[in-house]
Amino acid sequence: MRALKLRECCVGGTKHRVPRKEEGLTEPQTGRLRLQLTSTMESVAEVEATAERLTQEAGMDEDEAFKVVMAVREAAVNAVLHGNGYDPGKKIQASFENTGSALIITIADEGEGLDPDTLPDPLAPENILRGTGRGIFLIRSFLDEVHFRQLHPGTELTLIKHLTPDAQAST
């Protein structure tokens, strides 16, 4: 995995020291890792790799980890592609946090905004053969909570996966 670009680490909303690269995402355990990235597919790969590491360090089983990582990747793709439109002048912000009882990941773009209530249902018979429109559906399917926040400009998705007692015990 590429070295993580650690820029800021917060605990409880308070600025904390920036961890060294070799420190894990969960040190300190409730620390939050923030990334500011360009609107590229390389950034999507970095977000995906970071999510993968977060799930591994949380002790999630493979199936659950796969779903979380995929949902995070879909959110990053949405931010880079649909939100920022690959605009080199716009950034995406990602944060990763293991609270001990849940993984909380936020992905924000600087685009024109997204109203999730206007998205067509990809399971509807008239949409089932569409080539697009399944990203947000998969995110919602694979996570316990998904929250949208309008940033003016941009959209922030907060993705929450509750940790099972087994996973919590291994952290």
- Binding residues for another protein (CB under 8 A): 41, 44, 66, 70, 73-74, 77, 81, 122-123, 128-135, 137-138, 141
Closer by beta carbon to another protein, 1 or else 123: 123
CB of 139 to another protein, least distance (A): 9
CB of 154 to another protein, least distance (A): 20
Closer by beta carbon to another protein, 34 or else 134: 134
Cα(47)–Cα(127) distance, integer angstroms:
29
Q: Which alpha helices (DSSP H) does 58-158 contain, by range?
A: 62-77, 135-142
Residue type, 129: L
Give CA 24 to chain center in angstroms: 17
Six-digit token string for 140: 């919602």
CB of 22 to another protein, least distance (A): 26
Closer by beta carbon to another protein, 73 or else 90: 73
- Helical (H) or strand (E) element with 45: helix 41-57
